[in-house]
Structure 1
Amino acid sequence: MAMKRPKKTTYLFFFFLSTLLFSTLLSNIPGIHAADKLNNVRRLMIGSMAPTCTYNECKGCRFRCKAEQVPVDANDPINSAYHYRCVCHG
């Protein structure tokens, strides 16, 4: 006794399921671009924790307030140490 042929919808279901499975597996493999992103994140953050701006630091801002690196010595920004300051955007 032979089995019935599967319907076209069954093939379509398994096609989409396998596509989803392969895309999730391939997205977890680190590539060249992931290393570049990691280096950019390290460069943006001085310490081990990303700073957050308090309510009082952002009090005068109309839109967004964001912590940015600012050189301690403005005359020599390349050789100067950096610290964070909350800056208004927008």
Structure 2
Amino acid sequence: MFIVSLNYKVPLTEIDRLQAAHVEWLKACYAEGIFVASGPKKPRTGGIIIARGSRDVLDASLAADPFAKAGAAEYDVTEFTARMTATGLDSFREA
């Protein structure tokens, strides 16, 4: 699994302009089964995405984000093995 930390590189007015396209991109990534959870950081300096699958697929997906295409965000990806999960999240546990 992966934790992706997005950090905005532009003013929030530019982020807001790209937000609708970014949300459509997020929806597509959820539909493809890549993303598990996502949301904005507090304070609003970027966002967090929890993803699963292969790193190559994740990298290609991140490159397609309207924020990435506009140079509006940078992405820090941390891979980890989910050995333990909360009740109800067993399908995310990895060997």
Into which bin does the TM-score normalised by the smaller protein fall? under 0.3
Structure ranking higher on relative contact order (CA contacts 8 Å, 6+ apart)? 2
TM-score, reference length from structure 2: 0.23
TM-score, reference length from structure 1: 0.24
